[in-house]
Structure 1
Amino acid sequence: MPTSMSQPHSESRALPPYRGLFAVDAKDFTGLPAVQHGPVSQLIPELVDHALGRAGLAELREGKRFPANTGDGIVFGFDPEKLPFLIWPLLPVLDEVLATYNQQTVGPRIRLRASVHVGPLPDAGGPGDGNGTPRNDTHRLLDSRPVKAVLAAASPETTHLAAVFSSRVWEDVVLAGYTGLHPDRCIEVPATVEGKSFTQQAWLFVPTPSGNLLEAGILPAAQPAETSDTEPRHGGGPGNGARYSGNTQHVIEGAALMGDVGGDFTYTGGASYRAANQHWGDGDNVSGDKHTGGKGQA
C-alpha cells in the first residue's frame, strides 16, 4: 500500500528534528577520465573521515545521519550541537589533510568545496531520511557561483578547500561566537546557482587563501569602495611596500581583485575581463576590454 502524502497547510504536525548538514564535492570531477571516477568517489569520504578523526570528531564520524555518496562528494547529517566543531577545527584540518594528500599523490589533485547548513529534516530510520529543503539548499550552496569562483581563482598548489555557510549557520554559530572561527575570516556573498531559482546570502571561508585571494572581496551589494580616513589607497602593489586599508569592493557576484593582476581573468557569472597587467589604486583601473552579460551592467 503506497504511503499517503501529507498536504501542506492542511493541519498542524510535529516539526522534524533539526539536523546539521555537511557536504563536499570535488572541483573538476567530471573532467577526470572515466576510469578515475570510481576511485575518487571512494577517496573523498576516506579523506573526510580521516579529517574527522584528526579533528577529534571520531564519534561524529561513526554516527553520521543519512550519509550519502554523491559521486563527486558526500553529504551527511549530524546533531546540530556539533555544528561549531564542523566549522572549527574540522575545516582547517580537512584543508591540511587535502594539502598532504595532494603533495604526495601521483594521481589527480583533490580540491573540495564544502557547505554547512542546518534545518528540520526527517530522521526516523526510514528511506526518506534526510530529504527536504535544507538538504536541497546545502547542495545549492555547494554549486553556487561565488564558492566555485573563489576556488577556481585560487592557486591549486596552495588552496585545497573553500567552504560556504548558510545564513542560519552564520548567525547561530559563527556570529554568535560558538565556534573557533572568527567572523572576520569570512566574506558575505550572494549565493546563486546558474539555471536554478536559488538566491541566498551566504558566507565564504577559505582556510588557506592564495594569490589574488589574499586581496580579493566577494561581497553582496553594488556600492562605492569604502575609503579609510587614515590609510591611503594610492601607489603600487604589495611589492613596493604600499599598505591597503578600507579597500573593500562591493560587487553583485564574482570576484573583485585588488593588487597586481597579470594576464586574463574570466568569471563565468556573466562578465569577463581581458587585460594586460593591472594595478588597483583609486577607483577602478582596468586596461583592455570589459565585457558584461547584458545591457546596462557596470
Structure 2
Amino acid sequence: MSAPVPTPYAESRPLPPYRALFAVDAKDFTGLPAVQHGPVSQLIPELVDRALDRADLHELRAAKRFPANTGDGVVFGFDPALLPFVLWPFLGVLDDTLGAYNRQSVGPRIRLRASVHVGPVLDTDGPGDGNATARNDTHRLLDSRPVKAILAAASEEVTHLAAVISQRVYEDVVLGAYTRLHPDRCVEVPATVEGKPFVQRAWLYVPSPSGNLVQAGVLPREEPVAPPTPADGREQGPAATPGAQYHGNTQHVGEGVAVMGNVGRDLTYNGGASTYHGTNQHWGGGDNVSGDKRIGDTGGPR
C-alpha cells in the first residue's frame, strides 16, 4: 500500500537529502522517422556514459540515483560533491563525444540540450525516488527558451551541446570557484517555458560556440585569446573581459539568436521579445541578447 500523502505545513519533518540532477534531451527528436526513435533513445544514454568515463567520472556513472530514460534523453541524480566536475570537464567532454559521433555517423546527428540543478529530492530506494520540485525544475530548465534558441541558432557542425545551469548551482559551484568553469564563460538568462508558469534566473554554457556566439566573443574552451594590443598604441574602446573578445557593435540576424557585448558580464536575454528598441542590431525573428546584464521581462509567444 502506498504511503499517505502528507498535508503541507501540518507538521515539521526531515528535509530530503540534497541531490544534484543532470538531464539531457535531443534536439529535433520528434522530427525523426519513427523507426529511428528506439535506436536514438538507446544511443543517448550510451553517449552520456561514454563521456562520463572519458571525464574520469566512473564513480558518478556507477552511482547514479533514480536514472530514467525519457525517450529523447536521460535524467539522473548524483552526489552534489561531484557538481564541480560535471560542469568541468564533463560538459566539454560530452560535447566532444557528441562531435566525434556526429562526424563518423551516417545516421541522424545527436545534438543535446543539458540542464544541471540541485535541491532536496526523495531518495529512499523506493518507487517515488527522484520526484520533487527540483526534478521538475530540472526539466523546465531543459525546455526553456534560451537554451533551445541558442542550440537552434548554432552551427550543427560545431556546436553539439548547449547547457543551462541553475542559479543555485551557479552561485554555489561557479561563483564559489569550486569548478574550473569560469563565470565569464556563462551567460545569464531568464529561463522561461512557453505555456508554463515558470521563470527562473539561469546561466547558459556552450562548450563549443559558433555563429553569432563567436561573433559576440564567446570563445571555445581550447582557444583562450587575449585582446590584441594596438600597434599604434591608441585606445580601442572598452577593455575586453578576460577570455573574451567582441568586435564591433552591429549584427544582422535573419532568424535565431543575437548576442552583443562582453558575454558573461554585460548581457540581457529578452526571452520572448519580438521587438527591440536599441541601436545597431536587427533581426527578422527569434531571440535577442544585448545590453547591460540584467533579467528582463519576457514577451509573449512569438
Q: If the TM-score is normalised by the length of the shorter chain, which range does it land in?
A: 0.7 to 0.9
CA 1:15/1:185 → structure 2, altered by over 3 Å: closer, same or farther? same
CA 1:42/1:289 → structure 2, altered by over 3 Å: closer, same or farther? closer
Q: Return the letter of the residue paired with 1:255.
A: V
Tell me, yes or no, if structure 1 residue 271 matches structure 2 residue 267: no
* Preserved contact between residue 192 and residue 199 of structure 1 (Cα < 8 Å): yes
Q: Take 2:67 and 2:174, find their aligned partners in 1: how far apart are those partners? A: 24
* Paired position in structure 1 for 2:120: 120
Residue 257 of structure 2, aligned match among 246, 255, 258: 255
SS for the counterpart of 1:89 is helix
SS for the counterpart of 2:23 is strand
Q: Take 2:171 and 2:250, find their aligned partners in 1: how far apart are those partners? A: 22
* Preserved contact between residue 212 and residue 258 of structure 2 (Cα < 8 Å): no
CA 1:295/1:93 → structure 2, altered by over 3 Å: closer, same or farther? closer
Taking the TM superposition and a 5 Å limit, the aligned residue runs for 1:101-250 are 101-216=101-216, 230-232=235-237, 244=246
* Paired position in structure 1 for 2:42: 42
Cα deviations by residue, 1:124-168 (Å, 9 ceiling, x for unpaired): 100000001000000000000000000000000000000000000
Tell me, yes or no, if structure 1 residue 286 matches structure 2 residue 282: yes
- % of aligned pairs identical? 70
Aligned structure 1 segments of 4 or more residues deviating by more than 4 angstroms: 245-249, 287-290
* Paired position in structure 1 for 2:75: 75
Q: Take 1:272 and 1:107, find their aligned partners in 2: how far apart are those partners? A: 38
SS for the counterpart of 2:282 is coil
Tell me, yes or no, if structure 1 residue 65 matches structure 2 residue 61: no
* TM-fit CA distance, 1:2: 4.0
* TM-fit CA distance, 1:270: 5.1
Q: Return the letter of the residue paired with 2:80.
A: P
Aligned residues, how many? Answer: 256
* Preserved contact between residue 165 and residue 203 of structure 2 (Cα < 8 Å): yes
> C-alpha root-mean-square deviation of aligned residues, in Å?
3.2
Q: Take 2:133 and 2:273, find their aligned partners in 1: how far apart are those partners? A: 28
Q: So what's the TM-score if we normalise by structure 1?
A: 0.78
Q: Take 2:284 and 2:211, find their aligned partners in 1: how far apart are those partners? A: 22
* Paired position in structure 2 for 1:226: none
* Paired position in structure 2 for 1:92: 92
Q: Take 2:191 and 2:146, find their aligned partners in 1: how far apart are those partners? A: 6
* TM-fit CA distance, 1:255: 3.1
Cα deviations by residue, 1:190-245 (Å, 9 ceiling, x for unpaired): 00000000000000000000111113499xxxxxxxxxxx5349xxxxxxxxx847
* Preserved contact between residue 19 and residue 79 of structure 1 (Cα < 8 Å): yes
Q: Take 2:105 and 2:66, find their aligned partners in 1: how far apart are those partners? A: 30
Unaligned runs of 5+ residues in structure 2 are 219-234, 239-244, 262-269, 289-297
* Paired position in structure 2 for 1:30: 30
Q: Return the letter of the residue paired with 2:282.
A: V
* TM-fit CA distance, 1:109: 0.2
* Preserved contact between residue 190 and residue 271 of structure 2 (Cα < 8 Å): no
* Preserved contact between residue 187 and residue 217 of structure 1 (Cα < 8 Å): no
Q: Take 1:67 and 1:211, find their aligned partners in 2: how far apart are those partners? A: 34
* TM-fit CA distance, 1:246: 9.3
Cα deviations by residue, 1:89-135 (Å, 9 ceiling, x for unpaired): 10010001000000000000000000000000010100000001000
* TM-fit CA distance, 1:288: 7.5
CA 1:19/1:247 → structure 2, altered by over 3 Å: closer, same or farther? farther
CA 1:4/1:210 → structure 2, altered by over 3 Å: closer, same or farther? same
* Paired position in structure 1 for 2:241: none
Cα deviations by residue, 1:2-26 (Å, 9 ceiling, x for unpaired): 4211111110000000000000000
